[in-house]
Chain A
Amino acid sequence: MLKQTEGSKAVAEAIALCRPEVICAYPISPQTHIVEALGEMVKSGELPKCEFINVESEFAAMSVAIGSSAAGARSYTATASQGLLFMVEAVYNASGLGLPIVMTVANRAIGAPINIWNDHSDSLSQRDSGWMQLFAETNQEAVDLHIQAFKLAEELSMPIMVCMDGFILTHAFERVDIPSQEQVDAYLPPFDPRQMLDPAEPISIGAMVGPEAFMEVKYLAHAKQLQALELIPQLAAEFKQTFGRDSGGLVRTYRADDAETMIVAMGSVLGTIKDVVDEMREQGHKVGVLGIISYRPFPLQQVREALVNCKRFLVLEKSLAVGMGGIVATDVRMAVRGTGLKGYTAIAGLGGRPIPKTSLHKLFLEAEQESLEPVTFVDLDWDAVNKQLERERQNRHSGPIAENMLHDKGMSTAAKFG
């Protein structure tokens, strides 16, 4: 059913259609609207046979989900940013125990400085946690990925994060096609847990494993994700059969057939990128797009196939490996190793910094001209940065960086009234 609705609300409805049995959540912007809506649905009876638990922290949220999933209940939670970091220990534990929990990450920057706006630092920080990570480009895709996610997670008995850009998607009102319960039921079978806490078969879950078997356990988790590389396209195909829509999969290309310059990105920024590419195509530039949906497992082969025919690529990512550069870019470069392709990294949109089309336009042209530095910080205020660096060169005790920068930008209270 087509609806003009908020992304969070749409996702909440999708989750409800998946018949979750235990939902637990701790509020953090910009995830709140999702769980608020679910809480209301449980309380009103609209979502029956479901326990909604208001926990005291994200750590507890993930822990409750661990318990409920281990006891055989389809379990869901949502978080973002600091919340994700606060539950990290349990995040690793959920995957280590092989519990098919589905979690929405409403992507948001990580402090300090505290910042509620979107980038991908949070879920990317969990790159190696053993969770699968799927990135939605639109709210429609967010809805669809959640439905696929339950099926994928339960098939493999591994947890999944469905990542959607905070505010940009979660709080955006768009037209979304919400599937019917019949459709979802046809696609998603009831949870048949691979292991379950049950007095009839009293297994011990969560043993201490020493050097004699630890590596094998870790390899098996890796093997699971390799299996997912085959399963994800399969589930997307099944999804198309049931719902009549292309959604999900490992990667998606746009105007890439004859592209000489490929822009690689994840999430909602792909929409802006496509607009810019359309404009550039009209101007005769052979630019194409590669959207990565499955960040974990990382589809090395599919990325390589998508890029192997271009001449250069630019990875635009909303994340920064401080002291290194791109995070996604590193993986993409790994995918094209040996091809001799020129690759560039652009760090953009950290902490919600807008990524205007004009900036992208300029960036893509420079990429095409191969005049970019290996790592580019899109729309960075070099004046402010340089001033601070200069100050620090002169004085070790130069004061808080953030405050100084605001001052330089004429935005601090001190500057206003001082």
Chain B
Amino acid sequence: MANKPFAITLKPGTSLNNLTGSWRTARPVYLDRLPPCNNACPAGEDIQGWLFHAESGDYEQAWRALVENNPLPAVMGRVCYHPCESACNRGQLDSSVGINSVERFLGDEAIRRGWKFAAAAAASGKKVLVVGAGPSGLSAAYHLARMGHKVEIQEAGPLAGGMMRFGIPKYRLPREVLDAEVQRILDLGVTLKLNCKVAHIEQSMQDGGFDAAFLAVGAHIGKRAMIPAGDAAHIVDAVSVLRSMEGEDKPMLGRKVVVYGGGNTAVDVARTVKRMGAEPIIVYRRTRDKAPAHDFEIEEALQEGVMIKWLSTIKQAGDSSITIEKMALDDKGFPQPTGEFETLEADSVVLALGQDVDLSLLDGLPGLEIKNGTVQVAPNMMTGHAGIFAGGDMVPSERTVTVAVGHGKKAARNIDAWLRGTAYQPAPKHELAEAGNLNTWYYSDADKTVRPMLDIIRRQTSFDEVQGGLDETTALFEARRCLSCGNCFECDNCYGVCPDNAVIKLGPGKRFEFKYDYCKGCGLCVAECPCGAIKMVPEDI
């Protein structure tokens, strides 16, 4: 520049000498927020994390990320009531991401392609007894095995799966899917002993030389209701009906079957009965919107021809009919008798009023606390008896497969820590990524993919799976609908929209950094971050 005109002509890029960062009163910082799907998942899945891989079509990586937390994606993709989708911020934009359907796609893809779990960690030399091969037990066994512990599952029933097999009808969960996912867990080296009822837990632990135990025996005892009934009245419980569907001897219920209850089990029984050629009628004391069953299940049942009597209680059961009383909801929403009666034909009555836990294996075990028929556990899932943990339907919580799987994982982590003489410290939760943190402009319009449904005739007459899965294109579409709430997905917006070039792009997978020497603190990166992964914090001046 020496021979260029003084002052009027300047060297390029010399403004880098001017550190405009000193103008700033607030600085942007990158952060990770907790996506609402992850927050809502009872199984503690990193949903956004595995969707991220699915978005690029790397399904195996997506599946591997998924099974870090949940070894049963094909099952989960069918039976989970997906609270993740209810929490999904996309629901406020158009409709929530079909997380459940992508999960099923990944689970099915894994079965189809024969993907196996990563090998277990080095053997710890510890042995853990898992009682019950339901979702909670299988989940715990899986995690413990991967942590390097020797695991044995003792199952009272003839087959693994627990309620997944004996409570959920085939048309919702084909058994070959369940079998495949169970087998994959066993392939990790988990021992499964069937028809092996644990009568006394301490004894069993001692006999097998177990260092710890995880109890997940579930809740299999159908609750009874006091219904005045004649001798000839045929009253059975829902769990028995569903269980017997798995055996050789199908239940004999007659043509007119009254199912008493408003939960998912009631609906499952009614739909099962319908497929057996009978005419089910659900009798429930409250209204449809008060029913604990999921509305889509009620809807599907109605489509299939299941009759439902809302606001009705059974007053009396005879040999071929029952008497029901009409109810009315009071101011507080509780059903009150009206004195108005009706008679329904009923060859049998199936009680679907909930289940109790068989706690006999705990008899005499010191330190336990039993309340309302369930075992009380500490936040680390350990019962009052050291080394004995419990989860699933036998502890107080919502009784779903997903919750059970979550319990299994959580218990496994705590058992692992306990075995090592430490305590498991979960990573602190990030602040929640709420819809208000997002700039949804950047997400293009894309409505949810509807999963194919089986035609109605086959739904009424067969146990074929009602809901189909997504194919690869639709799964990819659905995965890409994820907004990546609260976590940078490297969209480059901050890098692009900074008027001061004060953002460094670190390269794929490495995200970004601010050049605070130049950042003036305008906040555009925060405002234009689609997913709310940046926030402004005041500068100390």
Direct contact of A and B (CB under 8 A): yes
Cβ of A204 and Cβ of B12 under 8 Å apart?
yes
Within B1-47, which residues are at the interface with A (CB < 8 Å)? 1, 3-12
Any chain B CB within 8 A of the CB of A415?
no
Secondary structure of the B contact surface, majority rule:
loop
A194-B3, A203-B1 in contact; A217/B8 too (CB < 8 A)?
Answer: yes
Of B5, B7, B12, the contact of A195 (CB 8 Å cutoff): B5
Residues in B whose Cβ lies below 8 Å from that of A206 = 8-9
Cβ of A205 and Cβ of B12 under 8 Å apart?
no
Of A157, A202, A207, the contact of B7 (CB 8 Å cutoff): A207
Cβ of A203 and Cβ of B3 under 8 Å apart?
no
Chain A 172-212, CB within 8 Å of chain B: the 1/0 string?
Answer: 00000000000000000000001100000011111101000
Cβ of A220 and Cβ of B9 under 8 Å apart?
no
In the complex formed, the residue of A with least CB distance to B10 is A204
Cβ of B9 and Cβ of A203 under 8 Å apart?
yes
Cβ of A195 and Cβ of B9 under 8 Å apart?
yes
Any chain B CB within 8 A of the CB of A233?
no
Cβ of B12 and Cβ of A98 under 8 Å apart?
no
Tally of chain A residues near chain B (CB < 8 A): 18
Cβ of A97 and Cβ of B6 under 8 Å apart?
no
- From residue B28, how far is it (CB to closest CB) to chain A in Å? 29
* Number of A-B contacts defined by CB within 8 Å: 45
- From residue B4, how far is it (CB to closest CB) to chain A in Å? 5
- From residue A326, how far is it (CB to closest CB) to chain B in Å? 34
In the complex formed, the residue of A with least CB distance to B3 is A194
Please measure, in the bound complex, the distance between the C-alpha atom of A180 and the C-alpha atom of B10, giving whole angstroms.
41
Any chain B CB within 8 A of the CB of A213?
yes
Chain A 211-248, CB within 8 Å of chain B: the 1/0 string?
Answer: 00110110010000000000000000000000000000
Cβ of A207 and Cβ of B11 under 8 Å apart?
no
Cβ of A216 and Cβ of B12 under 8 Å apart?
no
Any chain B CB within 8 A of the CB of A67?
no
Cβ of B7 and Cβ of A203 under 8 Å apart?
no
- From residue A38, how far is it (CB to closest CB) to chain B in Å? 29
Residues in B whose Cβ lies below 8 Å from that of A203 = 1, 4, 9-12
Residues in B whose Cβ lies below 8 Å from that of A220 = 5-6
Residues in B whose Cβ lies below 8 Å from that of A194 = 3-5
Please measure, in the bound complex, the distance between the C-alpha atom of A324 and the C-alpha atom of B266, giving whole angstroms.
111
- From residue B3, how far is it (CB to closest CB) to chain A in Å? 6
Within A91-134, which residues are at the interface with B (CB < 8 Å)? 96-98
Query: Max chain B CB contacts within 10 Å: which of A203, A216, A217?
Result: A203
Please measure, in the bound complex, the distance between the C-alpha atom of A97 and the C-alpha atom of B5, giving whole angstroms.
8
Residues in B whose Cβ lies below 8 Å from that of A205 = 5, 8-9
In the complex formed, the residue of A with least CB distance to B13 is A202
Residues in B whose Cβ lies below 8 Å from that of A97 = 5, 8
Cβ of B5 and Cβ of A157 under 8 Å apart?
yes
Query: Max chain B CB contacts within 10 Å: which of A194, A204, A206?
Result: A204
- From residue A197, how far is it (CB to closest CB) to chain B in Å? 10
- From residue B1, how far is it (CB to closest CB) to chain A in Å? 7
Please measure, in the bound complex, the distance between the C-alpha atom of A194 and the C-alpha atom of B1, giving whole angstroms.
10
In the complex formed, the residue of B with least CB distance to A205 is B9
In the complex formed, the residue of B with least CB distance to A206 is B8
Cβ of A217 and Cβ of B12 under 8 Å apart?
no
Cβ of B6 and Cβ of A216 under 8 Å apart?
yes
Residues in B whose Cβ lies below 8 Å from that of A213 = 6-7
Residues in A whose Cβ lies below 8 Å from that of B9 = 195, 203-207
Q: Top 8 nearest A-B pairs by Cβ distance?
A: A213-B7, A204-B10, A202-B12, A98-B5, A209-B7, A195-B4, A207-B10, A205-B9
Known: A195-B9, A204-B9, A206-B9. 12 other contacts (CB 8 A): A97-B5, A98-B8, A194-B3, A195-B4, A203-B4, A204-B12, A205-B9, A206-B8, A207-B9, A207-B10, A217-B5, A220-B5
Residues of A near any B CB (own CB < 8 A): 96-98, 157, 194-195, 202-207, 209, 213-214, 216-217, 220
17 contacts between A and B (CB under 8 A): A96-B8, A97-B5, A97-B8, A98-B5, A195-B4, A203-B11, A204-B10, A204-B12, A205-B5, A205-B8, A205-B9, A207-B9, A207-B10, A209-B8, A216-B6, A217-B8, A220-B5
